[in-house]
Amino acid sequence: MTVTNRLLHNYGQSLTIGSAEGRGFISCLDPDDAQIHKTQLAPGVTNNSKYRLITDAENIAEGDRVTAAGRSYIVLRVEPVRIFGAFSHNECILKLKGGAVNA
């Protein structure tokens, strides 16, 4: 088990990638506009904030659905990170999945 695996499994939050269980860290890439995350938007208006996911799941792909802490995200981009040529983890860009929560 690599250092990255140990960090993710000890400190990462539980998440579901598609139907597989995993662990990772999710953080917002738009911290300057914190109010947008608390504002109830009008119907048809989407939150375009982007999120970063760091996970050791190797089978994650663009378009996959990620669920963590009751929120659902769509993977926009996946970048594998290799250390000394060996796979370490994936860094992904996510966006919140739209839906009719209050409908």
Q: 75 versus 40: which is more confidently predicted? A: 75
8 A C-beta contact, residue 84 and residue 4: no
In this predicted structure, what is the pLDDT of residue 52?
Answer: 95
Cα–Cα separations (whole angstroms), residue 83 to 2, 3, 22, 87: 10, 11, 21, 6
8 A C-beta contact, residue 44 and residue 5: no
Percent of the chain with pLDDT over 90: 49
